[in-house]
Amino acid sequence: MLQLVFAIAFSAVPLTLYIPPIRSFNLFVHTIQHFLRDSNLLSLHAYSSITLAFSRIFNSIIHVTW
């Protein structure tokens, strides 16, 4: 049983190298939030521009065919 505990403990040690320290999570979370906020604003603007363009195209097609 003790060997199993040591095997699990020593196999988990390399995983701790991939986890950043707690003090750097704040900057990481702030950067991710800033990126998502900016990308959300850009995607909303692009969506409104695309819908406006398609509506103008479809309206011109409808007016030409009538």
User: Model pTM?
Assistant: 0.43
CB burial of 23-57 (b: ≥16 within 10 Å; e: otherwise) equals eeeeeeeeeeeeeeeeeeeeeeeeeeeeeeeeeee
Task: Work out the average pLDDT over 31-59.
Answer: 87
Task: Work out how many domains the chain is built from and give that number.
Answer: 1
Q: Is residue 42 part of a domain?
A: yes
Q: Is residue 62 part of a domain?
A: yes
Q: Which domain does 47 fall in, by range?
A: 23-66
Determine the pLDDT at residue 52.
92
- Judged against a pLDDT cut of 80, whether residue 22 lies above it is answered with no
Q: Is residue 12 part of a domain?
A: no
